[in-house]
Structure 1
C-alpha cells in the first residue's frame, strides 16, 4: 500500500474512532435521562466506523490510478510529438530537400521531390496570359434580337439561348455566367462614354485557350449577329489574333492568349501557365511580368535551412520527452514529493531505449557517426539526459559534411529511423504504454463498481440503524418518563414522594 493510501486510511480510521466516542456519549446521556440520543449522529458514526477504512482505501487507489494514467497520457503526448518531428528525418525526405533561388525578380522557383543540384541560365521572353475580348459599344438597355450564341474555348463550347427575357447585353452576360456547361468564360459589362461593352475573359491562360463566338437563328436582329468573333492562336505560343464578324461593330482584343516563352541554358521551352513544372525535373518556376526581358541565374542546392530547422526541432522535442520523463520519475527530498511514475518499470524501459538510440550513433564503414559530430551533445550532467545544440557546428556540418549528416539520419538505421521504430512500438495499440493504461482503466472501473456496492451497503446499514436507534430512543424516553413518575410518587434518595407526604 502506498504512503498516500496508508495515510488516507489511517486518517479515516482516526476520524471514525472520534465519532464513535461521541456516539457512545450520546447513548449514555440518553440512558441516564440527561438528554435525548442524537440518533442521526449515532447512525452516521456507526456506519462510518464500518465503511470509512474501505471508502478511504478505494478513494486513495482511485486517485493514485488516475494520477498514473494522466502521467502516461503526458508521456504519450511528448512521444507522439517527437515521432511527428522525426518523420521527415526517419524517411530521408528532409536531407533530400533542395532549395531553389533566382538571381533577379519575376522568377519564384520552388524545388520539390526529384530536384537535383545545379545552376541554369533562364531567359524569359513572355509570360502566359488569358485572352480578354471587349465588344463594340451598345445601348445597355436595348434588346439585340433573339436566337442562339455559341461560345467556344479550348475545344469546348456551350450554347446560350436568347429570348425576350435575356436578350439585352446584361442579360447575355448573366446567361453566360450561369450556364452549367460553361467551358471557362466569364462575362462582364463595362460602360464607357460610348455605351456598354460585353467583356469576355478566358479563365485559363495559354495560347490554345482562345475565345470564339458565333450567332445563329437570329430573329429581329438589332446587333446580336454582330457579336460573332473568331480567335486564332499565335504560332509557337505567340499572342492570339481575332477577326470580328461585323467590322462596323468590331471586337477588340484587350489581352491576347499566349504561352510563357523562355529558354533554360539556351534550350527553348514554353508553358501554357506561369507555374512551369515541366522544364526542370522537381522544380516549379513561378513566372511574373518582372522576369520578361531578363536573363537570370537559377540555382538549385540542398536546403540547409530546412534541414537545420528539422534537426533542431528533433533535438528540442527529444528534450521535451526527457524532461517529461525526469519530472515523472523525480523525488523532492525537501517536500518528500515523488513523481507519478517514480520507479515505474515501463518508464525506465522507455528512457533507456531512447537514450541508447541517441547516444549510440550510426555505423559508417569501420567508424561510427554520432550526434556530437554535427554539434549535438548530451548535457554535462549525465542524470539530466537532455541534448545541447551547437548551432554554428550544426550549420557547418550541413554545408561542409552533408554525407556525414545523411549517414546519421539515413532511412535504414539512422537515428531518426531507429527512434521512430522505438516510439511506434511504445505508443501502438498493445504496446507497453497501452497495456499499462488498459490495466489502469480496468482497475478504475473495478473501483467504481466497488464504490457503488459500498454506497449501497452504507445506505442499507443507515436505514437499519436509523430504525433501531429511533426505537431505542423512544423506549428510553418512555422509561425516563416512568422513572420520573415513580420518583415523584414514592420518593427518591433525596426527596420524599407524594405518598409519603400524603399529598
Structure 2
C-alpha cells in the first residue's frame, strides 16, 4: 500500500513536526551568524566614522602645513568707497597715503547730425586709430547708419571700437565707444570721402572726429601714493608697490592703505584646527568608551587601532618641536592647551601676542618639516591613506562578513538535506505503521470469523 502524504499512516502531522525539527536545528546557528554579522558590520561602520573624523582633522592640519600661508598679507583701505586693495605674500608690511586723483574713462564719440533709418551716408573709407593700432572699412554708397554700425562691430581686425545707435528726436545718431579705457585707447576717426572733401559736413566726413561730440573723453586713472603720481589705462594699479594691487573707486584724498600679516586668515585656520581636533576627540570617546549608566560600550572599545591612533595624535599635540629658531616649540606657548576632557582650548590673548611679536615663528611651529602639522599629517595618513591601517582592518572584517554569507549558504544546504532526510524517514515510518495497521485489521477480522469466536454484539 503506498502513502501519498506523510503522516497518513501514523496519523501524525509529519510536515509540521519536520518543520519544527529543522528550525530547532538551524535557529541557534542562524542567530549566531546574525549576531556575528551585526558585530562585523558595526565595526566597519565604526571604522568609517573614525576615518571620516580623522580625514576632517587632517584637512585642518594640512591648511597649516605650508609656510607660505603664514606669509599672507592683508591690505586694509581706510575708505572702501575711495579705493580697495589686495596684497600677496611679497608685499612689505607698511602704511601708505593714498589719493585717487581721477578715474579712468573710455573714449566715447557721437554724431552731431540725426539720420533717418533709410538715409545713406556716403561712400569711401573710414579708418579707426587707437594708439599704434588701426583698422579700415570700405563704405558703399548704399550703406545706412545701421550698415556702418554692423560693419564696425563685425570687423575681424577691429582694434577696440564698439558702435551703437541711439534714437533721438532728430533721428538716429551713431555712437563710437572704446572697449577699453585710458588715453592709449582714444579713438581717432578719419575718412577718405568720395567727394574729395574729407572733413566737411557732407558724406562720410560727417563721421570724423571734428564733426562728432565727445560725451566722454579718453582718460587715464590716476592715484597718488605717498604724494607720487601714478597713471594707468584703467582703475587698477598693480605695479606701483610690490605685491599690492590698488583699485580706484572714486575721487578722494587723505586715505590710508595698511598692509599687515593676514592674522585673520591664520587665526581662522587655527580655530578650525582646534574645532576639528575636538570633534575627533568626541569620536574617540564615542567609539572607545563605556557608559556605566546605560551599560553600553562603544563599538571599538578596547580596539588596538583606535587606541593606537588616539594615543599617537595626543602625543603629537602635546610634544615639543625641536630645532626651531623661534621662541615657540609647543602649542601651549601659543595659548593652545588641553583641558580636563582631553580637548583643546585657546587663549586668544596669548595667541595674538605671539602673532604680534613673532608671526613667522608661529608658522614655523606648525609648518616646519618636523613641525606639528607635518608630523600629524604623516601620522594620520598612515591610518587613513590608501592601504593604510584602517583600510586593512576594514578589508579583514569584510572578509569575515563575506565568510558569514558562505556559512549561511552552507547552513541552508544542511537544513534542506536534513528536511529531506527526515521526510524520508517519516515516510518510511508511515509505510511501516500503515502496513502493521493493515495486518492488525486483517487478523482481527479473521479472528472474528472463527466458529465460537466471541462477538460483543451477539445475544447470550
Partner of 1:138: 115
| Selected match of 2:420 from 464, 469, 477 | 464
C-alpha separation between the residues in 1 aligned to 2:84 and 2:283? 43
Does structure 2 conserve the Cα–Cα contact (< 8 Å) formed by 1:358 and 1:415? yes
Query: Structure 2 stretches of 5 or more lacking a match?
Result: 1-5, 196-200
Matched, 1:281 2:242: yes
Partner of 2:224: 263
Partner of 2:91: 115
Partner of 1:300: 259
Shift of 1:444: 3.0
Partner of 1:101: 76
Shift of 1:32: 4.7
C-alpha separation between the residues in 2 aligned to 1:197 and 1:386? 73
Does structure 1 conserve the Cα–Cα contact (< 8 Å) formed by 2:83 and 2:100? no
Partner of 1:426: 383
**TM-score when normalising by structure 1:** 0.74
| Selected match of 1:374 from 334, 353, 357 | 334
Residue range with higher mean Cα deviation, 317-326 or 125-134: 125-134
Report the number of matched residues. 441
Matched, 1:76 2:51: yes
Q: What do the CA deviations read for 1:218-271 (whole angstroms, capped 9, x no partner)?
A: 89xx98724644xxxxxxxxxxxxx24xxxxx2223223333222323433222
C-alpha separation between the residues in 2 aligned to 1:226 and 1:478? 127
Partner of 1:237: none
C-alpha separation between the residues in 2 aligned to 1:190 and 1:97? 49
Partner of 2:279: 320
Residue range with higher mean Cα deviation, 479-488 or 419-428: 479-488
Shift of 1:284: 1.4
Does structure 1 conserve the Cα–Cα contact (< 8 Å) formed by 2:103 and 2:248? yes
- Map 1:289-368 to 2 at 5 A: 289=250, 292-363=251-322, 364=324
Shift of 1:322: 1.3
Does structure 2 conserve the Cα–Cα contact (< 8 Å) formed by 1:47 and 1:458? no
Does structure 1 conserve the Cα–Cα contact (< 8 Å) formed by 2:85 and 2:245? yes
Does structure 2 conserve the Cα–Cα contact (< 8 Å) formed by 1:91 and 1:417? no
Structure-2 change in CA distance of 1:160 and 1:436 (3 Å):
farther
Query: Structure 1 stretches of 5 or more lacking a match?
Result: 1-26, 230-242, 245-249
Structure-2 change in CA distance of 1:190 and 1:302 (3 Å):
same
Partner of 1:190: 166
Does structure 1 conserve the Cα–Cα contact (< 8 Å) formed by 2:82 and 2:100? no
Shift of 1:387: 0.7
Shift of 1:140: 3.1
C-alpha separation between the residues in 1 aligned to 2:347 and 2:215? 58
Counterpart of 2:266 in 1: which secondary structure?
helix
Shift of 1:84: 1.9
Counterpart of 2:63 in 1: which secondary structure?
helix
Structure-2 change in CA distance of 1:446 and 1:32 (3 Å):
closer
C-alpha separation between the residues in 2 aligned to 1:174 and 1:474? 104
Counterpart of 2:234 in 1: which secondary structure?
coil
Shift of 1:360: 1.1
Matched, 1:411 2:368: yes
Q: What do the CA deviations read for 1:184-217 (whole angstroms, capped 9, x no partner)?
A: 4444322222222233333333332234556679
Shift of 1:316: 0.8
C-alpha separation between the residues in 2 aligned to 1:162 and 1:477? 119
Partner of 1:61: 36
Q: What do the CA deviations read for 1:364-398 (whole angstroms, capped 9, x no partner)?
A: 4697632222222111x2xx321112233333332
C-alpha separation between the residues in 2 aligned to 1:370 and 1:305? 21
**TM-score when normalising by structure 2:** 0.80
C-alpha separation between the residues in 2 aligned to 1:101 and 1:86? 28
Does structure 2 conserve the Cα–Cα contact (< 8 Å) formed by 1:98 and 1:115? yes
Matched, 1:210 2:200: no
Matched, 1:45 2:35: no
Counterpart of 1:129 in 2: which secondary structure?
coil
Does structure 2 conserve the Cα–Cα contact (< 8 Å) formed by 1:133 and 1:251? yes
Shift of 1:275: 2.6
Structure-2 change in CA distance of 1:339 and 1:487 (3 Å):
farther
C-alpha separation between the residues in 2 aligned to 1:213 and 1:42? 108
Structure-2 change in CA distance of 1:484 and 1:359 (3 Å):
same
C-alpha separation between the residues in 2 aligned to 1:477 and 1:189? 112
Shift of 1:453: 4.9
Shift of 1:491: 9.8
Q: What do the CA deviations read for 1:410-447 (whole angstroms, capped 9, x no partner)?
A: 43332223222322332221221222223233333343
Shift of 1:329: 0.6
Shift of 1:318: 0.9
Does structure 2 conserve the Cα–Cα contact (< 8 Å) formed by 1:276 and 1:285? yes
